[in-house]
Amino acid sequence: MKSKLVYCIFLWAFSFSAGYAQKIKHRFIAKGESRSQLHYIDQFDTSNNWTIDIGITSRDIHLIDKNRILVSCKNGFIEFDLKTRKKVFEIHRKEYVKTETVLRLENGNTILGLNNKENSISIIEITKEGTIIKRVDFPNLKTIRLLRLSPEGHFLFGANQDRLIETDWKGHMYANIQIPNTKHVYWIRKMTDNLYRLTTGYGASFVEVNAKGAILKKFGDTSNYHFFSRPFEMTNGNIIVSNWTGHDWNAGKKGVQLIEFDTKGNIIWQWHQADIAGSIHGVIVLE
């Protein structure tokens, strides 16, 4: 009798959460890594959906105004107009080889994060014309993924697989924190002097850690997911995380592509359409 009651409660909880998730819909842009594509998905009206072929390996993605998308590529960056779905600007130079991540500054300049051939990391700032005006090298660090800025204007990025790095143009280290159970720290945001949010790559989790690297909060796990890459933080506090599943064309079949967690870590929405997209590296939610 007790086991039957437990089973009934489980079915009720599952049906409730499934029904709740079905009511949630989003409009979003997803960057497909394994097929080098941008996808616009409108769950309110799927006839609006479209796909753009980027045409080159890309990792980072930003909405730089209401109608333009900025994406990194292996030797620079590309900008696409969302209304026309056309490429409107691009810059590629040998000096930017192995670009992994890109940031547009308010003055119109662009910051690029590079993985150098000699297994070191460089950060450069370039003008609109592509001239390098600043550069800092980190010979003891390797494997940068996404570069972001702290509230103070410091650089935030993962390195050496399990390191959270906070630094600046002078190379001063404000933080060099080892994160447990992590391989490829992918994305970082600094919340306060003693609190960071990050995704753990093959650790397949979204975590909050203090300045000593102690994990204070953790969403996701290594058994159900493959690789947590770029997340999107909703205004209501929810987190939508990209679950990357591999480099091959049909990698989207290997697992759910996007997961939405509420503030308590409950999964309230998922997106998995392998017929539309391969593995997903990043998402920007529009509504």
- pLDDT tens-digit map of 272-282: 999 999 999 99
SS3 category, 92: strand
pLDDT tens column, 10-46: 344 444 444 444 589 999 999 999 999 999 999 999 9
Is 123 a residue whose pLDDT tops 60? yes
SS3 category, 15: helix
Which residues on neighbouring strands pair with residue 260, listed in sequence order?
240, 269
pLDDT tens column, 169-210: 999 999 999 999 899 999 999 999 999 999 999 999 999 999
In this predicted structure, which of 178-182, 234-238, 252-256 has the lowest mean pLDDT? Answer: 178-182
Average pLDDT over residues 108-130: 95
Q: Which residues contact 61 (CB under 8 A, 6 or more apart)?
A: 29, 31, 38, 69, 70, 71, 72, 230, 281, 282, 284
Give pLDDT, residue 273: 97
Q: What are phi and psi of 190, to 5 degrees?
A: -90, 120
Q: What are phi and psi of 82, to 5 degrees?
A: -75, -25
pLDDT tens column, 57-75: 899 999 998 899 999 999 9
Average pLDDT of the chain is 92
125 Ramachandran zone, left/alpha/beta (phi>0; psi -120 to 50): beta
Average pLDDT over residues 138-144: 96
pLDDT tens column, 211-228: 999 999 999 987 889 999
Give pLDDT, residue 22: 59
Give pLDDT, residue 169: 98
Q: How far is CA 104 from the centre of its chain?
A: 16
Is 243 a residue whose pLDDT tops 80? yes
Residue listed under structure tokens 């590079």: 114
CB atoms near residue 86 (< 10 Å)? 10
| Long-range Cβ pairs for the range 98-101 (8 Å, 24+) | 98/74, 99/72, 99/73, 99/74, 99/75, 100/59, 100/60, 100/72, 100/144, 100/145, 100/146, 100/147, 101/59, 101/60, 101/72, 101/144, 101/145, 101/146, 101/147, 101/157
Q: Which residues contact 274 (CB under 8 A, 6 or more apart)?
A: 250, 252, 253, 257
Average pLDDT over residues 99-118: 95
Burial class (CB in 10 A: 0-12, 13-18, 19+), 190: buried
Q: What is the pTM of this model?
A: 0.90
List, in order of start, the domains of the chain with CATH numbers. Answer: 2-285 (2.120.10.30)
Closest C-alpha to 268, from 94, 96, 24, 84: 24
* Kind of pairing between the strands at 110-115 and 99-104: antiparallel
Give pLDDT, residue 20: 47
Distance in angstroms (rounded) separating the CA atoms of residues 117 and 84? 37
